[in-house]
Chain A
Amino acid sequence: MRSQAVLLDIHRLHLRTAAHVARHGPNYNGTPPIDVWIAEKIRKAAQELLQEDAELAASGAIPEPPEDERLLLVASTLGMDPALMGRACAAFNRAPFDARAAFHGLILEAQEPATWCRSNSMTLERAMAALRTALWALGVREELDLDELLRGGDDGP
């Protein structure tokens, strides 16, 4: 999750990964090495959960608050109602990678901004802009105004 810089409930990820391992364990023949095999199951599980969260958020369903202490800690730090964290995470996880990475590096890992910028080849200005995008995704209920984009008369030549 750190390399992908996403926010996922680790309990769900654990259960989904365990389900993948249970389904495919009997067919595991020793190749690839077990750590690579399990990492692939974790990746697959994470991908499925991200998709499910996006669908759930878009459907308007009321998501369950996360049980993961880490996500609750993020909610607490940002002064957010934990009940909103499910949708907030779904919005955060679709933010650009730079934004997610800045949030992970500068807030969750509390890295020194100058150090983080150096190791990510980014200026401080750009890092703060990325962080702003991440916080915006987590904290602002904004809908895409597609209608505005698609409205208008004949624009052909």
Chain B
Amino acid sequence: MVRDVIQLRPEIEELIREIAARPDSVLLRVPRGRWRAALRDDATSVSSLDSGFHRAERHLLAVHREECAHVLRQAAWHRVATSHEGSDRIYLKHTATYSVSVPSESSLARDASRVLEMSLDLKADTDGLGMVERCVSPGYLAGARPEALCAAAHRLVPSCSGRMICGLSYLHGGRSDAALLVFRELVRLAPTASAEALAWTNLGEAAEAKDRWLWAWSACERAIRADPSLVAPHVGALWFSVRLGSTPRATAAAARLGDLVGDRADLLDEHVQRFSKYAIRMKRGWNSDLERTLRRVQESAGPSAGRLFNALG
């Protein structure tokens, strides 16, 4: 049977042929069938008859596993974000329109109780469910290790957010090699461009911890390419350019940051605080050449970059 295809314009057809010409392409490797516009017919595509009980049941179980994993990841996130290092180093405002929140202990206990009330039989991982149960107990979180919580969540449902939290926990605990490994894997696995950008940004931070300024700068540039609306890699690219002693890169990064922030000065508040608090650590190994680069960029930079540099003191 010949399958229908979508009617394509000549310029799009040309583009497909161009990409198909690559030896590692999988386009145009099987017969395409006849040309007919069919996709725009809004035919019924979901039927209750063909959904199948077993598959529905599998999805129900998947939802429950994810609920349990979510509670564990949230618990780990709470631990990481409220730790001494994490509360200073984690940015909650990611873009002009998106911020993340940190759950309180009481809301976590409520979520865990709710999940347990509707518990299904998770034979595959009673350990994970046991950890969810413990999240309800007062005082449990204070002693819980984020990595253990992430690992339990991961056994239930492998996820990028679990890996991200685990990587941050390693990074803030001074285990930058372990963090690098986690973030490297995360870059490959990220399901969306935003998640990939966040993974690159964190990879940059892990590289910074090892004084690998070029890696850190490259990672931030990759993050910006994946999602230009994320603020943190713009700040990272600016700072790492200065650390590399590259005035042209830093000037370009400062201009991009200024364009992104515009009149939303609040987007930089967390970064300014971090620059102020960690100025000594950030300027480790500082020398007169780097100081000159900083001053040159500061002279030409707009208010956004200026605010960050002023915070360094």
B55: contacting residue among A15, A109, A149, CB under 8 A: A15
Contact with A along B40-73 (1 / 0, CB 8 A): 1001011000110001100110111011000000
- Please tell me which one of the listed residues B6, B29, B64, B211 contacts residue A23 in the complex, with CB atoms under 8 A apart: B64
Give chain B residues whose Cβ lies under 8 Å from the Cβ of A141: 24-26
Chain A residues contacting B29 (CB-CB under 8 Å) are: 79-81
One digit per residue, 1 when the CB lies within 8 angstroms of any chain B CB and 0 when it does not, for chain A 113-157 equals 100000000000000100110011011111010100110100111
Which A residues are in CB contact (< 8 Å) with B9?
106, 110, 113
Contact B25 A144 (CB under 8 A): no
Partner of A156, one of B40, B56, B66, B285: B285
Instruction: Please state if A108 and B39 are interface contacts (CB–CB under 8 Å).
Output: yes
Q: Is the CB of A131 within 8 A of B184?
A: no
A88 at the interface (CB under 8 A from B): yes
Question: B302 an interface residue at 8 Å Cβ cutoff?
Answer: no
Contact present for B193 and A23 (CB under 8 Å):
no
- In Å, the complex CA distance between A79 and B3 comes to 11
Tell me whether A107 and B8 are in contact in the complex, defined as CB-CB below 8 angstroms, given that A94-B193, A132-B19 are known contacts.
Answer: yes
B214 within 8 Å of A by Cβ? yes
With both beta carbons as reference points, the residue of chain B lying nearest to A15 in the complex is identified as B59
Query: Interface size (B, Cβ < 8 Å)?
Result: 74
Interface residues as binary, A78-96 with B (CB distance below 8 Å gives 1, 0 otherwise)? 1111001000101001111
Q: Which of B12, B43, B56 contacts A107 (CB 8 A)?
A: B12
B25 contacts across to A, CB distance below 8 A: 139-141
Is there an interface contact between B215 and A150, defined as CB atoms closer than 8 Å?
Answer: yes
Q: Are A156 and B212 in contact (CB under 8 A)?
A: yes
Q: A138-B27, A139-B25, A140-B26 are in contact. Are A74 and B189 (CB under 8 A)?
A: no
A138 to chain B, nearest CB (A): 7
In the complex, the chain B residue whose C-beta lies closest to that of A55 is: B158
Given contacts A48-B66, A54-B160, A149-B218, contact A19 B59 (CB under 8 A): yes
Give 17 pairs: A residue, B residue, CB < 8 Å, sorted on A: A11-B50, A22-B60, A48-B63, A55-B159, A58-B188, A73-B38, A74-B39, A77-B32, A79-B27, A110-B37, A110-B39, A113-B9, A113-B11, A128-B11, A135-B27, A139-B26, A150-B184
Residues of A in contact with B (beta carbons under 8 Å apart): 10-12, 14-16, 18-20, 22-23, 48, 50-55, 58, 68-70, 72-74, 76-81, 84, 88, 90, 93-97, 106-110, 113, 128, 131-132, 135-136, 138-142, 144, 146, 149-150, 152, 155-157
